[in-house]
Amino acid sequence: MKALILSGGKGTRLRPLTYTGAKQLVPVANKPILWYGIEGIVAAGITDIGIIISPETGEEVKEKTGDGSRFGAKITYILQSEPAGLAHAVKVAQPFLGDSPFIMYLGDNLIQSQLDLFLENFKKNQLDALILLRPVPNPTAFGVAKVDENGRVLQLVEKPKVPPSNLALVGIYFFAPTIHEAIAQINPSARGELEITDAIQKQIDTQKHVEACSLEGWWLDTGKKDDLLSANQIILDSCIATPVTEFKTDATSQIIGRVQIGEGTEIINSTVRGPVVIGENCRIENSFIGPYSSIADRVTMIDADIEHSVILQGAKISGIHQRIVDSVIGQRAQLVNAPPRPKALRFMIGDDSQIELV
């Protein structure tokens, strides 16, 4: 059994962050989204992993993620020259996949459930495809499935104007090698892409064994700012348990609740109220860090208050006299000097930006 993780695409919904980096590397609770998928796949016993990368962000993905040894896996990087659809990504990866069954995992998805039970179902029933489904209030934004009472998939439609159900396809699929034959028989869709939904529909039409499982627990597609902040909140709630005390603080600072702070970080005349994660070698001075905030390595915060926000590595926030909420601030961005205003501030700031409020 192999795994194929998709970490290409242009990440248009997370711009400006994704003008300069891969959306799958944006951190949730100070860990790249992509890594949660890798860890989940390895936990299910699959260690031979291919990662689809794009020309624009592939080198960054390779540099940060490495050869897989940190996860107990072997990673092979596969270049997809253009974002021509999920089925196209499988086609490009066919030399890596060979005749092996595999799990396909969209690298910007996060799920609560472990993959073991789904994998066991796929193997036990010798399926050609197993898809995961979740009811959603807006099915027109997703691939949508129609299933019978036994869980057999009858129909798949990509982003339908009139959905046959409210069951959206979660971005995790299990495939037998027969998917390659199905992909070879489909044509690009109206948007010019080879759709994985069309390939699975081809399997259904040719009497292959395609079933669905309902996904329990939370599922997060982190393609937008609010989704990213929701994911950060849920992961902090789930994973931050006990304080880490290898940091410097003074007598005037307070660390309250579930807080993790990295080595070399200084907390000076500040309050940190969890759940919060703060990386290494940060300087927090005369500041308040409220719940559901993630602060990456080497961040400087002086005279600033934040809550429910994600601050990427190397950012500097100084002299902001209103609370910053519901914000994502990119790597090495600088946000400085805001005179008092009556309302909270919200930002979505890309890497290396410099903003001065006057």
> Residue 48 is inside which H or E element, if any?
strand 48-53
pLDDT for residue 289 is more than 80: yes
For domain 2-235, give the fold: Spore Coat Polysaccharide Biosynthesis Protein SpsA; Chain A (3.90.550)
For residue 273, name the pLDDT band (cuts at 50, 70, 90): very high
For residue 340, name the pLDDT band (cuts at 50, 70, 90): low
CA atoms within 13 A on the CB side of 68: 19
pLDDT for residue 172 is more than 70: yes
- Condensed to tens digits (0 to 9), the pLDDT of residues 70-84 reads 999 999 999 999 888
**Nearest C-alpha neighbor of 7 from the set 19, 22, 26:** 22
Most confident region among 135-149, 187-201, 213-227 by mean pLDDT: 187-201
pLDDT for residue 9 is more than 80: no
What DSSP string describes 208-227? --EEEEEPPS-EEE--SHHH
Q: How far apart are CA 314 and CA 308, in angstroms?
A: 19
Please answer whether residues 267 and 250 qualify as being in contact, where contact means their C-beta atoms are separated by less than 8 angstroms: yes
Structure tokens given for 126: 């010798």
Structure tokens given for 298: 């080497």
- Count of H helices and E strands in the chain? 8, 31
Instruction: Report H helices in the chain.
Output: 33-43, 58-65, 86-92, 94-97, 116-124, 178-184, 196-205, 225-239
Q: How far apart are CA 160 and CA 169, in angstroms?
A: 12
Burial of 19 (0-12, 13-18, 19+ CB in 10 A): middle
Please answer whether residues 212 and 130 qualify as being in contact, where contact means their C-beta atoms are separated by less than 8 angstroms: yes
Q: How far apart are CA 116 and CA 165, in angstroms?
A: 27
Each domain of the chain, given as residue ranges in start order, spans: 2-235, 240-356
**Nearest C-alpha neighbor of 260 from the set 245, 250, 282, 249:** 245
For residue 12, name the pLDDT band (cuts at 50, 70, 90): very low
What's the whole-number mean pLDDT along residues 88-116? 93
More confident residue, 26 or 4: 4
**Nearest C-alpha neighbor of 146 from the set 128, 126, 164, 170:** 164
Please answer whether residues 19 and 350 qualify as being in contact, where contact means their C-beta atoms are separated by less than 8 angstroms: yes
Per-residue pLDDT, 161: 87
For residue 350, name the pLDDT band (cuts at 50, 70, 90): low
Most confident region among 150-159, 264-273, 349-358 by mean pLDDT: 264-273
What DSSP string describes 128-174? SEEEEEEE-S-GGGSEEEEE-TTSBEEEEEES-SS-S-SEEEEEEEE
C-alpha dihedral sign at 202, 178, 196, 144: positive
Q: How far apart are CA 216 and CA 146, in angstroms?
A: 18
Please answer whether residues 316 and 337 qualify as being in contact, where contact means their C-beta atoms are separated by less than 8 angstroms: no
What's the whole-number mean pLDDT along residues 309-316? 93
Per-residue pLDDT, 248: 67
pLDDT for residue 28 is more than 70: yes
Average pLDDT, the chain: 87
* Site of tokens 């016993």: 45
Specify the CATH superfamily of domain 240-356: Hexapeptide repeat proteins (2.160.10.10)
For residue 52, name the pLDDT band (cuts at 50, 70, 90): very high
pLDDT for residue 11 is more than 50: no
Q: β-pairing, 153-158 with 143-147?
A: antiparallel
Q: How far apart are CA 121 and CA 216, in angstroms?
A: 15
Share above pLDDT 70 across residues of the chain, in percent, rounded to a whole number: 89
